[in-house]
Amino acid sequence: MAHDPITQSVLALLREKDPQVAEHIAQEARRQATTIELIASENHVSAAVMHTMGTCLTNKYAEGYPGARYYGGCVHHDAIESLAIERAKQMFGCRFANVQPHSGAQANQAAMMAMMEPGDAFCSLVLKDGGHLSHGMKINFSGRFFRPFHYPLHYAKDHPEHERIDYDAVRRVCMEVRPRMLLCGYSAYPRVIDFARFRQIADECGAILMADVAHIAGLIVAGVHPSPFPHAHVVTTTTHKTLRGPRGGLILCNDEEIAKKIDKAVFPGAQGGPLMHVIAAKAVAFGECLSPGFKAYGKQVLKNASALASALASCGYRCTTGGTDNHLMLVDLRTRSEHLSGADAEKWLESAGIVCNKNGIPDDPRPPRVTSGVRLGTPAVTTRGLREEHMGMIAAWIDRVLSAGLANDGSIGDVAAAVRREVSALCEQFPLPA
């Protein structure tokens, strides 16, 4: 059963008009309601955000920007997009925002197109160390049309900063390459990013500093992670992770010339018609982010992540870098058993109602479809209302499932079913936002 009345009425309509799709949506609603979501990049939006996306705004073409559209009939769309822009600027304390990118990768594409020429060099962290595919993966636009050079982490096990960004090496690589752009911000990095240090390096080598804060944007808005402003020239983010909005992207900056280039790079450079129903939902989500409750949410996300990392450590699991400062942790499963892979852990945990993703750990000897780690995050469980005391329960369930898998060569039917019942009972006590 769906958790909110509007989804229920949509399902009632679809059961008549398209029972096949209705059935899949109903099952997905049930899956989300009864499982624990630990994927660090996912969240549960409010009913207000969710249903704004299902409005008549989807019917409209609005190519262009507020006050300068290529279609008639955009008066309400102008007002909505302007509201989203104003709220985005207020959230990050910056002067310019483009709310049209359809996704984080498209925000990155537009930002790179705005700030670089094809063939220009940029420096970033490689995907396997915690970066992102749009940060220079060979088959991605960022690796095909630009020249990525990657800076390292501290890989030496005995280094006190093991698996953290090696800022001296970032400087070294940048001074050697002299990139057009220096890119920071990551998808699987559990520590605070020193934006001021990155800006120093960027200034020294003559690069533009871009920060992709997709993962930590909500933490920045909540004031529990330092802001990339005033250090970064360009900031990109998704809107659906810690910002708890609809799936989409956002680009921010403080410089009028850069803002003009970004607007051109988004439309007509990379995209056509904006998704106005999603932009309206962004405005609603940004309004929620600006409410006083959001700061408390951000603080609790961090407390929960720290509690989960500690509880896992007491079960014998090492988190990379020794823990976390933010909403996520990378669990090195080899410290529990050499035979435990991320792929197995993801599969076994899902069968017990705990959803996460396999993830390479720095210097991982296993390939990306197998991996030696899982990435866990607390944004979604915190939205549900879970607190530190529940993180111990989750760690114990994780250990019970993985231990059973190891002991029984992956045959964990009974244990998975038992844990799933307990998980479901906890989820029932903490329903999704309605």
Q: Which of 63, 120, 350, 422 is catalytic?
A: 63
To the nearest whole angstrom, how small is the minimum distance from the Cβ of residue 134 to ligand DSN? 8
> Rounded to an integer, what is the distance from CA 320 to the centroid of its chain?
19
Cβ-based nearer residue to ligand DSN, 25 or 137: 137
Annotated catalytic, 238?
A: yes
- Torsions phi, psi for 340 (to 5 deg): -90, 120
Number of residues that bind ligand DSN (CB under 6 A): 4
Window 223-262: residues binding ligand DSN (CB under 6 A): none
> Is there binding between residue 69 and ligand DSN (CB under 6 A)?
no
Does residue 371 bind ligand DSN (CB under 6 A)? no
Q: In this structure, what DSSP letter does residue 95 have? A: S
- Nearest approach in angstroms of CB 186 to ligand DSN is 9
Instruction: Verify whether residue 261 is a known catalytic residue.
Output: no
> Binding of ligand DSN at residue 104 (CB under 6 A)?
yes
Catalytic residue (choose from 238, 371, 378, 383): 238
Candidates 34, 42, 61, 172; catalytic one: 61
Pairing of strands 318-319, 328-332: antiparallel
C-beta of 142: minimal distance to ligand DSN in Å?
13
Name the closest residue to ligand DSN (Cβ).
41
Q: What is the 3-state secondary structure (H, E, C) of 174-199?
A: HHHHCCCEEEECCCCCCCCCCHHHHH
Judged by CB under 6 A, the residue of 7, 140, 187, 227 near ligand DSN is: 187
User: Which candidate in 87, 164, 191, 241 is catalytic?
Assistant: 241
Query: CA end-to-end span of the chain, whole Å?
Result: 13
**Whether residue 428 lies in the annotated active site:** no
Does residue 255 carry a catalytic annotation?
no
**β 147-150/318-319 pair status:** unpaired
Does residue 18 have an active-site annotation?
no
95 or 369: CB nearest ligand DSN: 369
CA distance 413 to 406: 13
Q: Shortest approach of ligand DSN to residue 181 CB, angstroms?
A: 19
List residues bridging with 330 in a β-sheet. 375
Q: Is 247 a catalytic residue?
A: yes
Q: Residue from 77, 87, 132, 277 that binds ligand DSN (CB under 6 A)?
A: 132
Give the residue ranges of DSSP H helices in 149-292: 167-177, 195-205, 217-221, 256-264, 276-289
Establish if 41 lies at the interface with ligand DSN (CB under 6 A).
yes
Query: Concatenated DSSP letters for 333-388?
Result: GGGT-TT--HHHHHHHHHHTTEE-EE---TT-SS-TTT-SEEEEE-HHHHHTT--H
For the bound state, the minimum distance from the C-beta of residue 375 to ligand DSN, rounded and expressed in Å, comes to 8
Asked if residue 359 binds ligand DSN (CB under 6 A), the reply is no
How distant, in Å, are the alpha carbons of 90, 113, 288, 325, 387 from that of 294? 14, 33, 7, 18, 15
CB of 196 to ligand DSN, least distance (A): 25
Residues 6+ apart with CB under 8 A from 325: 190, 191, 192, 225, 302
Positions marked active-site: 61, 63, 212, 238, 241, 247
Please give the residue ranges that form the binding site for ligand DSN (CB under 6 A). Answer: 41, 104, 132, 187
